[in-house]
Amino acid sequence: MASTFGTNIKISIFGESHGMGIGVVIDGLPAGEKLDVDALQKEMNRRAPGNDPTATPRRESDIPEICSGILEDTTTGAPLCAVIENANTRSVDYERMSRLPRPGHADYTGAVRYNGFNDVRGGGHFSGRLTAPLTFAGAVCKQILARRGVTIGGHIYAIGNLYDRPFDMLRVHPEDLRRLTQMQFPLNNPAMESQMRALVEQAHSDGDSVGGIVEVAAVGVPAGVGSPMFGGVENVLSSIVFGVPAVKGVEFGAGFNVTRMRGSECNDPFTIEHDKVVTTQNNSGGILGGISSGMPIVMRAAIKPTPSIASKQHTVDLREKRDAILAINGRHDPCIVPRALPAIEAAVAIGIADLMKEVGKL
């Protein structure tokens, strides 16, 4: 099904980019969890548009209104619904969209899927704007996970062909993750920021866009979370992370690099440390046989360049069934990677909360 996720913690996301509002219902949260509403808003602000030159100038305050499921800021166990108003919609930009599908967007496939009734204004339900309620749900899960000793965070691993220093998968520390969360442009090596920004700026001034990679880690997940076959950590996390628009690849631990390793190099040896079973390297990204090993869980997601670009593109006129040229005039992100990061962290948080609840650890 489209816009629902989860087994033990279920989310149901709704809304369109230029409709009245967007939001999420979260069912299955444990009762008695005090929510820090300011911290929730901070997570929302990390994703919100209009705050950074890499992002669209469309401004949205993105203040979620919690309609249900809490009493005195504490979860009641009943479904929590949050609604975010769409304040700043300029539909004029998108008028021709239903006729001239934008390359790289869901305009065409959405029209086929929904017989032309899909709301194309701003991408409708396919819009990246729908990551706002996802980010909210993730922010709620992050707070609950934090009380169980789990910290989730990430950084911009690549923009175009410029790479940040990757996580040391063996030693990534909760403090590192928390520090990254405070940064407007989260990098392990902040010296990369100016080059990366220049790359984005160049693309922008060329009427173009760039993609990149985000790397996210979850530290503190106890061993024994997840299940074999289709209930594994990789299965569950990938199935929610691909819900963030523009993700075209997901990898865990050493990821695609494992394919060039030998077994003797790839296998993470076990040892005893402080009476605990650990590994001396972490190519598995904290997951063996779908189940967490207690080591940091590390994943990467490939983000394609924003498909909305100012340059002219070849498309078709769906009504007249002929080729056409499209120029998109709306406000767009020359690089979506920084705003995708909190959304992907959120997806990881929701997935891990769902899995931990399955084994009675939430």
Where does residue 149 fall: left (phi above 0), alpha (psi -120 to 50 degrees), or beta otherwise? left
Pattern 156-195, a second copy, x by CB under 8 A: --x-xx----------------------------------
Selected range binding a second copy among 43-51, 52-60, 76-84, 183-191, rule: CB under 8 A: 76-84
Q: Which of residues 189-248 bind a second copy (CB under 8 A)?
A: 203, 206-213, 223-232, 234-236, 238-240, 242-243, 245, 247-248
Which one among 114, 182, 184, 194 touches a second copy, defined by CB under 8 A? 114
Q: Is 290 in the site for a second copy (CB under 8 A)?
A: yes
Rounded distance, CA 165 to CA 285, Å? 16
What are residue 117's phi and psi, to 5 degrees?
Answer: -95, -5
Burial class of 240 by CB neighbour count within 10 A (0 to 12, 13 to 18, 19+): buried
Figure out which of the listed residues 37, 57, 67, 147 binds a second copy, where binding follows CB under 8 A. 67
Backbone angles phi, psi at 266, to 5 degrees: -80, -40
Which residue number, 182 or 214, has a Cβ lying nearer to a second copy? 214
78 touches a second copy by CB under 8 A: yes
We find the least distance from the C-beta atom of residue 280 to a second copy, in angstroms, to be 7
Residues 6+ apart with CB under 8 A from 1: none
Task: Note whether 348 binds a second copy by CB under 8 A.
Answer: no
The verdict on 135 binding a second copy (CB under 8 A) reads no
Q: Nearest distance from residue 187's CB to a second copy, in Å? A: 16
Closer CB to a second copy, 21 or 174, in the complex? 21
* CA angle (347, 348, 349) in 5-degree steps: 90
User: Binding of a second copy at residue 88 (CB under 8 A)?
Assistant: no
Are the C-beta atoms of 67 and 82 separated by less than 8 Å? yes
Structure tokens at 261: 């390793």
Determine the size of the site formed for a second copy (CB under 8 A).
149
Closest CA to 45 of 169, 141, 184, 144: 184
Stretch of 8-16, 41-49, 135-143, 172-180 lying at the interface with a second copy (CB under 8 A): 8-16
Sign of CA dihedral 57, 47, 312, 325: negative
Q: Is residue 279 at the binding interface for a second copy, with CB under 8 A as the rule?
A: yes
Asked if residue 143 binds a second copy (CB under 8 A), the reply is no
What is the rounded CA–CA span in Å between residue 225 and residue 359? Answer: 7
126 binds a second copy (CB under 8 A): yes
User: Which residue from 92, 117, 191, 274 is in contact with a second copy, where contact means CB under 8 A?
Assistant: 117
Among 130, 139, 169, 180, binds a second copy (CB under 8 A): 130
Residues sharing a CB contact under 8 Å with residue 259, sequence separation 6 or more, in sequence order: none
d(CA 246, CA 242): 8
Q: Which is nearer to a second copy, 38 or 314 (CB)?
A: 314
Residue 38 as a binder of a second copy (CB under 8 A): the answer is: no
CB 225 within 8 A of CB 288: no
Piece of the chain touching a second copy by CB under 8 A; list 39-47, 48-56, 135-143, 301-309: 301-309
DSSP β-ladder status, 247-252 and 297-303: antiparallel
Positions in 303-342 near a second copy (CB under 8 A)? 303-309, 311, 313-316, 318, 321-323
